[in-house]
């Protein structure tokens, strides 16, 4: 069986690069994309390599970035401009193969295994990079490997405009000496847990006894160990854009907030937006999560899982506010977020019958029996209980910008 050839394409400083294409006078200058500093939304979203040379980084405040680079040009984000550029990027990739899996607005996997039987893989990859640069005027880095994990790892090795090939046999030399936190899929919390069993490098993770890492991290531990050995069986899945796992909304507060009623109102508004988005996508979920960031940038994430899926504003707010009041330590709050996850299509939800809804649902039994008879005779989906009319609204497509661009690719 011929080995797979997976490519990971990562656009370099995407938002900043798009702005430099739109306004050529910005090329070669240190620029950063950020929100409105007056409203405390002045966090650097991304910046050009010219700005990075001064030490400017993503998530810095505008104030911090300006101290490092007084000449830094701050631009507000133009999401429609970035969305348009992203659509062009993915359209170009699909000229080569339908096996394109968008990961975010500026990142994608491709499976060119079949193409590489007719043309050399590196010839294809170099052509893709050059076309993105000449036709869209956007720089990108590409990783080429036999699986998604190694391809993703490789694309990070040379930036900007790099092409890196990473084979499984290269793993002991190129990956094993690195600290475990440098590995994709390992964050600070996971790295700290692994340190408790003496795993601090990727090599140690690759060689640790399976039962130890499974006991510590569950099935994810075994997956991480496999990746540390260069193994990853995940397919490039073009249909992944149809999978919504969560719907959320967050906001950075105009000022550090401690007022109880003000915080309650913010969570209520966030819950309303999440409910509107769930309604627009006809989804409901079983887990509600509240995200709290205080003035010192300490983050708290608290969740509650439910027996039945919910989608209503009142239900979401009740749980979100309960989580917040239970876990808030009264430190000034900088950012709040509410998310509903483990979502599924509302048509597929089966609620457990309760004492009060049983009588209502039993009335529908003759209808259900009739539908089942028709389906047995004419096939599934021949008749539906109701027609789900297209919903309209301000938040119809907006789970978050980084995810919502995927809706463009479903057309």
| Residue 10 assigned as binding residue | yes
| Residue 111 assigned as binding residue | no
Q: How far apart are CA 338 and CA 317, in angstroms?
A: 9
**Does residue 74 contact residue 62 with C-beta atoms inside 8 Å?**
yes
The two beta strands, 100-104 and 107-111, are: antiparallel
Report cis status (omega within 30 of 0) of the bond before 160: yes
**Does residue 277 contact residue 403 with C-beta atoms inside 8 Å?**
no
Query: Which residue carries 């048509």 as its tokens?
Result: 347
Dump strand ranges (E) for 239-331: 246-257, 283-294, 299-310
For the chain, what is the largest distance between any 2 Cα atoms, rounded to a whole number of angstroms?
73
**Does residue 291 contact residue 250 with C-beta atoms inside 8 Å?**
yes
For the question of residue 369 being annotated catalytic, the response is no
Helix extents (H) in 196-312: 202-207, 210-217, 219-228, 260-281
Residue 74 exposed, middle or buried by CB count within 10 Å (0-12, 13-18, 19+): middle
Query: By C-alpha distance, which of 277, 213, 229, 279 is closest to 249?
Result: 277
Q: Which of 19, 50, 107, 315 is catalytic?
A: 107
Q: How far apart are CA 310 and CA 316, in angstroms?
A: 7
Gyration radius from the chain CA atoms: 24
Which residues, including other chains, have CB under 8 Å from residue 264's CB and lie 6 or more apart? Answer: 321
Q: CA separation (Å) from 88 to 85, 106, 135, 258, 330?
A: 5, 11, 10, 45, 47
Which residues, including other chains, have CB under 8 Å from residue 29's CB and lie 6 or more apart? Answer: 48, 50, 71, 73
SS3 category, 70: coil
E strand or H helix at 369, and its extent? helix 365-378
Structure tokens at 161: 């405009």
Positions marked active-site: 107
Query: Can you say which residues are annotated as belonging to the binding site for Mg(2+)?
Result: 10, 106
User: Which residues line the annotated binding site?
Assistant: 10, 106
């Amino acid at each position: 069986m011929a080995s797979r050839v997976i490519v990971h394409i990562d656009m370099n400083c995407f938002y900043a690069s798009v702005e430099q294409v739109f306004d050529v006078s910005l090329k070669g200058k240190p620029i950063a994309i950020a929100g409105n500093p007056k409203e405390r939304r002045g966090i650097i979203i991304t910046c050009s390599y010219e700005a990075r040379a001064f030490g400017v980084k993503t998530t810095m405040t505008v104030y911090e970035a300006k101290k490092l680079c007084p000449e830094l040009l701050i631009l507000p984000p133009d999401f429609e401009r970035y969305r348009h550029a992203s659509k062009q990027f993915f359209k170009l990739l699909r000229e080569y193969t339908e096996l394109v899996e968008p990961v975010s607005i500026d990142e994608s996997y491709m499976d060119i295994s079949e193409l590489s039987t007719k043309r050399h893989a590196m010839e294809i990859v170099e052509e893709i990079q050059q076309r993105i640069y000449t036709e869209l005027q956007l720089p990108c880095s590409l990783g080429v490997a036999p699986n998604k994990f190694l391809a993703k790892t490789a694309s990070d090795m040379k930036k900007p405009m790099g092409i890196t090939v990473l084979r499984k046999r290269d793993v002991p030399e190129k990956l094993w000496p690195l600290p475990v936190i440098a590995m994709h899929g390992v964050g600070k919390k996971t790295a700290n847990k692994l340190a408790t069993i003496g795993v601090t490098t990727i090599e140690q993770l690759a060689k640790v006894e399976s039962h130890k890492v499974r006991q510590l991290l569950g099935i994810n531990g075994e997956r991480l160990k496999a990746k540390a050995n260069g193994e990853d069986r995940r397919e490039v899945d073009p249909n992944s854009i149809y999978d919504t796992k969560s719907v959320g909304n967050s906001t950075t507060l105009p000022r550090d907030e401690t007022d109880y009623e003000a915080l309650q109102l913010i969570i209520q508004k966030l819950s309303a937006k999440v409910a509107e988005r769930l309604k627009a996508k006809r989804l409901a979920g079983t887990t509600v999560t509240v995200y709290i960031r205080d003035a010192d940038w300490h983050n708290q994430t608290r969740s509650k899982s439910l027996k039945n899926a919910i989608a209503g504003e009142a239900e979401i707010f009740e749980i979100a506010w309960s989580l917040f009041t239970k876990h808030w330590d009264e430190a000034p709050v900088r950012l709040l977020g509410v998310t509903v996850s483990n979502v599924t299509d509302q048509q597929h939800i089966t609620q457990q019958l309760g004492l009060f809804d049983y009588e209502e649902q039993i009335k529908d039994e003759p209808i259900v029996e009739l539908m089942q008879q028709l389906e047995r005779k004419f096939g599934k989906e021949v008749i539906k209980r109701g027609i789900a009319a297209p919903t309209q609204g301000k938040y119809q497509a907006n789970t978050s910008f980084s995810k919502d661009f995927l809706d463009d690719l479903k057309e």
